[in-house]
Amino acid sequence: MKTRRLKKPVLYGMYTGLFAVVLCLLYYADFSNSQIASSPTEDEDLQYVSRLFGSDDMPVVNTDSVIMRPYINDAVKIVKNFYDYKGTESEQEKAIINYDQTYIQNNGIAYGGIDSTFDVVSATNGTVTSVKEDKIMGTIVEIKANDKVVTVYQTLTDVKVKANDKVTQGDIIGKSGTSNINKDLGNHFVFEIKVNDSYVNPENYYDKKVNEL
């Protein structure tokens, strides 16, 4: 029996082909593993859907708050009206403050009508920009709701907030009190709303969305 020996070029070709096959097999195995590792699991899919559509901790829609009345005692009433330039003469007379023989137009509304002090609450979400003492109006708290809307609370006592505090609508910021400018009103507080630096009648803005003013 005659033994055949393969020539060197043939052997080299076989070795090269075999090496190429091994490389292909190794590449395919590595590619398959990487695909499996990168594919999201069922838990990851659920987490993605949860992030996409929200959960109990993070609502999908962030509804904007509306302006609420700055008190929660139903017995509280208006004791001094807002001065409206377009109002009747009778309405304007009721909105004039007589202090030290000087007549002042009321830029807000004074709420009171009860003997005991009552809680004054924030009408909006926002940031306390200032808390200051005034000899005429008592303690004054200013809260910025956004770049356009600012609420001001005057004639306060037992103030619970300080400058730079973040407040949520309905948070107690203080209690009603008395002032030197409105002594005849007894226990009360004055509430003002400024929109684009202009005073507006608060009674016309309750239940309106802050970001739509």
Convert the pLDDT of each residue in 78-127 to its tens digit. 999 999 888 888 888 888 888 877 888 899 999 999 999 999 999 999 99
**11-15, 46-50, 139-143 — which is least confidently predicted?**
46-50
**CB-based contact 122:173 (threshold 8 Å):** yes
Q: What residues does each domain of the chain span?
A: 8-53, 77-212
Predicted pLDDT at 93: 86
What confidence tens digit (pLDDT) does each residue in 157-184 have?
999 999 999 999 999 999 999 998 888 8
**CB-based contact 131:162 (threshold 8 Å):** yes
In whole numbers, what is the pLDDT of the chain averaged over residues? Answer: 80
Query: What are the residue ranges of helices labelled H in the chain?
Result: 8-38, 42-53, 89-94
Predicted pLDDT at 98: 80
Predicted pLDDT at 170: 97
**CB-based contact 143:124 (threshold 8 Å):** yes
Tokens of 139: 């303690």
Residue 38: count of CB within 10 angstroms of its CB: 7
Q: What is the DSSP letter of 136?
A: T
Predicted pLDDT at 161: 98
Side-chain half-sphere CA neighbours of 176 within 13 A: 25
**19 pLDDT higher than 60:** no
Predicted pLDDT at 46: 42
Predicted pLDDT at 195: 96
Q: Most distant CA pair in the chain: distance in Å?
A: 138
Compute φ and ψ for 102, nearest 5 degrees.
-125, 135
CA 115 vs. chain centroid, Å, equals 34
The CATH homologous superfamily of the domain defined by 77-212: Glucose Permease (Domain IIA) (2.70.70.10)
